[in-house]
């Protein structure tokens, strides 16, 4: 994965693996500042920002699945088509780092969050925790991912993916018996601010 960016590689054995997945039209570089915050907090973690699977339909950057003509009806199939390659990326880095799925954290923003959330509904289990900024499920979750802590973080003024997506997902996952938390940032649009980042760092620290 030559276009992905290794933000931190510990001198010794990595004790954790933290992988970041950007939104549509962005690239691996966009989440490097976020990744650096996690690297500072978790010095024994291997931290990597991954590059989307396809060139973006927007003409710049990358994407995990096509958004051209996207609808509620066709989104699940597009995510499903991209999922095997997504899973392979994660598993390859687990092999390279020597870190198990249990000690892996997937962090997504927007379309990246869709991919990591949908991955929790499939086997094999890829991570012990997922942190989804400004995301949603493509389809309503149907299982509580075993051994996975799901953290949803969303601005309540998001005009791109409504905060209701995270609120609904949190209720659905809770009803399924999942390990779920939801943080809503007042007045925040489609992005990640300092308070949202701190919430994510604290959630992962508390989990470990």
Rounded Cα–Cα distance for residues 173 and 175 (Å): 5
Rounded Cα–Cα distance for residues 164 and 154 (Å): 9
Rounded Cα–Cα distance for residues 201 and 38 (Å): 7
List, for residues 80-104, the tens digit of each pLDDT value.
Answer: 999 999 999 999 999 999 999 999 9
CATH of the domain at 144: 3.40.50.1820
Residue 8: what pLDDT? 98
Q: What is the largest CA-CA distance in the chain?
A: 47
Would residue 165 be called left, alpha or beta, if left means φ above 0 and alpha means ψ between -120 and 50 degrees?
alpha
Q: What are the φ/ψ torsions at residue 186 (nearest 5 degrees)?
A: -65, 130
Catalytic amino acids? 110, 158, 190
Residue 2: what pLDDT? 55
Residue 205: what pLDDT? 94
- DSSP secondary structure string for all residues of the chain: -TTSEEEE--SS--SEEEEEE--TTB-GGGGHHHHHHHHHH-TTEEEEEEPPSEE-TTSSSEESS--TT--TTTHHHHHHHHHHHHHHHHHHHHHHHT--GGGEEEEEETHHHHHHHHHTTSSS---SEEEEES---SS---S--TT-EEEEEEETT-SSS-HHHHHHHHHHHHHHT-EEEEEEETT--SS--HHHHHHHHHHHHHH-
Provide the whole-model pTM.
0.96
Look at residues 118, 171, 168 and name the one whose alpha carbon lies nearest to residue 148.
118
Per-residue pLDDT of the chain (208 residues), as tens digits, is: 558 999 999 989 999 999 999 999 999 999 999 999 999 999 999 999 999 999 998 888 999 999 999 999 999 999 999 999 999 999 999 999 999 999 999 999 999 999 999 999 999 999 999 999 999 999 999 999 999 999 999 999 999 999 999 999 999 999 999 999 999 999 999 999 999 999 999 999 988 6
Residue 58: what pLDDT? 82
By residue range, what is the domain housing residue 12?
5-207
Q: How many structural domains is the chain composed of?
A: 1
Check: CB of residue 4 under 8 Å from CB of residue 51: yes
């Amino acid at each position: 994965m030559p276009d992905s960016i290794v933000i931190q590689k510990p001198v010794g054995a990595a004790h954790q693996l933290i992988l970041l997945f950007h939104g549509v039209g962005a690239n691996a570089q966009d989440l490097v500042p976020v990744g650096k915050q996690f690297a500072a907090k978790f010095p024994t973690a291997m931290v990597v920002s991954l590059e989307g699977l396809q060139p973006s339909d927007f003409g710049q950057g990358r994407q995990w699945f096509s958004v051209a003509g996207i609808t509620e009806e066709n989104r699940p199939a597009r995510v499903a088509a991209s999922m095997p390659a997504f899973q392979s990326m994660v598993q390859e880095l687990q092999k390279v780092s020597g870190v198990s799925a249990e000690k892996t954290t997937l962090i997504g923003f927007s379309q990246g969050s869709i991919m990591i959330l949908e991955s929790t509904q499939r086997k094999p289990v890829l991570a012990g925790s997922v942190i989804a900024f400004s995301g949603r499920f493509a389809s309503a979750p149907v299982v509580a991912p075993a051994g996975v802590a799901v953290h949803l973080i969303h601005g309540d003024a998001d005009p791109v993916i409504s905060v209701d997506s995270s609120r609904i997902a949190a209720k659905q996952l809770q009803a399924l018996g999942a390990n779920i938390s939801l943080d809503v940032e007042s007045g925040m649009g489609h992005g990640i601010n300092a308070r949202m980042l701190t919430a994510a760092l604290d959630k992962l620290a508390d989990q470990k």
